[in-house]
């Protein structure tokens, strides 16, 4: 009767493996050994997943959506093995994994304003995605403003060059209509064109 109860409570594949055993004790020991082996495999797999969870970091070029997909996939795998990661732990990991240079100010604000232990993962994602969109808008506007600035600088330089060349014969290095220096009292002299240096 004990062997009959054991055979009805285990999968068919396992029944075929232990069906040749002649006592209920031997059947039980065989089932126990296989279960312990499966349990060790499960524990090893869980350790691997948790190590992967701890190492996960968001790249500078990665979007919030892409990183959330990675994080969600890693956190859902332990659930299939009977281990559930608390939502507050996922939220803390998410905020900790963000690039500090880009998100440090927002993360600091969220940690001060919200209770991270009770805030849902979806709420944090929504806030981060809204912030990401604002950053994209500013980055799209920055090249336009930079081009305007470069255009204004080039216009200013070209005008300065015209002024300098236009006034050269009066403000140059002192050679021109009035000899060698400024205000030295030299009389008006004719100048030799061959001695003029062209700077343009």
- Return d(Cα 107, Cα 113) in angstroms, integer: 10
Write out pLDDT tens, residues 106-149.
888 888 888 888 889 999 999 888 888 887 777 666 555 555 55
Is the model's pLDDT at 165 over the cut of 50? no
Q: Can you read off the two tokens belonging to residue 50?
A: 């948790």
Higher pLDDT, 19 or 127: 127
Nearest Cα to 181, choosing from 171, 196, 193? 171
Q: Average the pLDDT over each of 2-11, 62-71, 108-117, 170-179 and give the range with the smallest value.
A: 170-179
Q: Where do the domains of the chain lie?
A: 1-55, 57-146
Average pLDDT over residues 44-72: 89
Look at residue 18 in the predicted model and tell me its pLDDT: 78
| Separation in Å, CA 27 to CA 24, 35, 36, 180, 192 | 5, 12, 14, 117, 119
- Return d(Cα 160, Cα 200) in angstroms, integer: 13
Strand partners, 179: 176
- Return d(Cα 107, Cα 124) in angstroms, integer: 10
- Return d(Cα 138, Cα 158) in angstroms, integer: 30
Is the model's pLDDT at 178 over the cut of 50? no
Mean pLDDT in the chain?
A: 76
Average pLDDT over residues 74-94: 86
Q: Percent of the chain, pLDDT > 90?
A: 11
| Separation in Å, CA 114 to CA 91, 120, 133 | 12, 10, 21
Is the model's pLDDT at 188 over the cut of 80? no
Q: Can you read off the two tokens belonging to residue 118?
A: 């009770």
| Tokens 């507050």 -> residue | 88
What is residue 115's three-state secondary structure? coil
Average pLDDT over residues 49-71: 90
Higher pLDDT, 127 or 194: 127
DSSP 197: P
Quote the pTM value. Answer: 0.51
Q: Can you read off the two tokens belonging to residue 177?
A: 């209509």
């Amino acid at each position: 009767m004990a062997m009959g109860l054991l055979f009805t409570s285990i999968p068919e594949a396992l029944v075929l493996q232990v069906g040749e055993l002649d006592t209920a004790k031997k059947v039980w020991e065989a089932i126990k050994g296989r279960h312990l082996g499966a349990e060790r495999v499960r524990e090893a797999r869980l350790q691997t997943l948790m190590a992967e969870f701890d190492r996960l970091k968001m790249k500078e070029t990665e979007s919030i959506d892409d990183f959330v997909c990675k994080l969600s996939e890693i956190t859902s795998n332990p659930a299939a093995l009977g281990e559930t990661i608390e939502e507050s732990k996922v939220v803390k990991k998410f905020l900790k994994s963000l690039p500090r240079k880009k998100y440090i100010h927002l993360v600091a604000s969220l940690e001060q304003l919200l209770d991270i232990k009770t805030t849902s993962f979806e709420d944090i994602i929504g806030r981060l995605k809204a912030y990401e969109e604002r950053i994209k808008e500013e980055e799209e506007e920055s090249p336009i403003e930079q081009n305007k600035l470069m255009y204004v600088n080039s216009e200013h330089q070209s005008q300065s060059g015209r002024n300098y060349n236009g006034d050269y014969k009066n403000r140059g290095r002192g050679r021109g209509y009035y000899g060698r220096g400024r205000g030295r009292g030299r009389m008006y002299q004719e100048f030799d064109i061959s001695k003029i240096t062209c700077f343009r």
